[in-house]
């Protein structure tokens, strides 16, 4: 252990300063957010510490087989009884978030447009909404609340905020979808919950969405 060699009076002042610093640090408490990164470390996002990690890792294919290397996901849920099922819920009473990296063929990535990325989760563009309705999609009363193009050195895509009535009241979706510059991955971040929930948690949700970062690897 390091020993102090200063005179007693200076040593007392030093201890007092350290004690004061400790009090100030403890008063600040832990950060209100935590960072999570994909397995390939090419996607980083921060979420409130109060959102529970439900599951993460490499998602299986529809037939149960392991998906291709580079695929990754994580689900966070602020509900008192967190569940991965809330990601697809039509009436989530607390924010639920899905972070996803999807490996795609390069030809698909090269041809993918901003509109394709807007419609990644639910139909947002007019054409996609018309096609979905014709196929029986139950969402009604669509509202587009925000729509912006995003571009960085590592990726390009969109940030959209929209809402639907999916049969049990209005649900708000705040999402980012970007393809990397190699055109081989789509990175996606979605947070959604009811209108009342979104209004109450908008600052935390917006902070998380703004933090979404695709990095060069």
Q: Which domains does the chain have, with CATH numbers?
A: 31-214 (3.40.1000.10)
Confidence of residue 67 (pLDDT cuts 50, 70, 90): confident
Is the per-residue pLDDT at 29 higher than 50?
no
- Residue 135 CB partners (closer than 8 Å, separation 6+): none
Work out the burial of residue 127: count CB atoms within 10 Å of its CB; fewer than 13 is exposed, 13-18 middle, 19 or more buried.
Answer: exposed
Long-range contacts of 62-70 (CB under 8 A, 24+ apart): 67/103, 68/103, 69/103, 70/40, 70/101, 70/103, 70/184, 70/185
Distance CA(195)–CA(172), nearest Å, equals 6
Task: Please state the pTM of the whole predicted model.
Answer: 0.84
pLDDT 10s digits, 143-165: 999 999 999 999 999 999 999 99
């Amino acid at each position: 252990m390091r020993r102090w060699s200063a005179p007693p009076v200076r040593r007392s002042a030093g201890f007092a300063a350290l004690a004061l610093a400790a009090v100030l640090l403890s008063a600040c408490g832990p950060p209100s957010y935590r960072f999570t990164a994909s397995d390939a470390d090419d996607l980083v996002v921060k979420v409130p510490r109060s959102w529970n990690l439900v599951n993460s890792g490499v998602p299986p294919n529809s037939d149960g087989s392991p998906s291709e290397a580079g695929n990754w996901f994580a689900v966070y849920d602020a509900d008192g009884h967190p569940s991965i099922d809330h990601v697809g819920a039509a009436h989530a009473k607390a924010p639920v978030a899905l972070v996803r990296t999807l490996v795609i063929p390069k030809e698909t990535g090269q041809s993918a447009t901003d509109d394709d990325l807007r419609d990644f989760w639910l139909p947002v563009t007019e054409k996609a909404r018309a096609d979905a309705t014709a196929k029986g999609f139950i969402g009604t009363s669509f509202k587009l609340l925000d729509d912006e193009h995003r571009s960085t050195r590592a990726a390009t895509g969109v940030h959209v905020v929209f809402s639907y009535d999916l049969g049990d009241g209005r649900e708000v979706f705040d999402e980012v979808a970007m393809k990397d510059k190699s055109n081989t991955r789509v990175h996606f971040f979605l947070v959604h919950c009811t209108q009342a929930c979104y209004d109450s948690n908008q600052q935390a949700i917006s902070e998380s969405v703004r933090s979404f970062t695709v990095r060069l690897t």
